[in-house]
Amino acid sequence: MCLLGPSYPRRIVKDTDPARPDRQARGTARFLVSFRYAFRGVRWMARHEPNMRFHLLATVAVVAAAAAFRLPIEQWAALVFAIALVLLGETLNTAIEVVLDLVHPEDDERVGVVKDVAAAAVLVAAAGSAVIACIVFVPHVWELFT
């Protein structure tokens, strides 16, 4: 079963493929075209990965809370780093899972181990981000109740 669905090509496209004129672009044009592919990946993640939707929702909540508390720039930086770390981890985890499903679709204990380790990386990033969020937000919340 292919996780990518019918909207993704099933063949590898070389950079010189004449059927893809956007791959022929040079310099700034090619750089800008690469963003289209990146945003297509983000859109696919948001549509097909429940964990990514959860992380994006948590991002919105954290950003809203940070704005409400008018956090100093240093705390914003810590939160942005934590958010980026978790979203990066989730993205890489999904990429690893999709590649493994493509190259080794049958059940294999070794593939399961690799997927579990990739998921553990996301867990570590999320736990670290939760600690950062506590360090940043607990004093502000505590101030509200004292």
CATH number of domain containing 59:
1.10.287.3610
- Burial environment of residue 20 by CB neighbours within 10 A (0 to 12, 13 to 18, 19 or more): middle
**74 with 136, same domain?**
yes
* pLDDT given at position 31: 84
Number of domains in the chain: 2
Q: Could you give the residue numbers annotated as active site?
A: 90
With a cut of 90, say whether residue 62 has pLDDT above it: yes
Buried b (16+ CB within 10 A) or exposed e, 104-122: eeeeeeebeeeeeebbeeb
| Per-residue pLDDT band at 34 (split at 50, 70, 90) | confident
Q: Which domain holds residue 106?
A: 50-145
The reported pLDDT for the residue numbered 1 is 46
Tokens of 6: 């019918």
**Could you tell me if 68 and 43 lie in one domain?**
no
Contacts 24+ apart (CB under 8 A), 59-68: 59/83, 59/87, 62/133, 65/137, 66/136
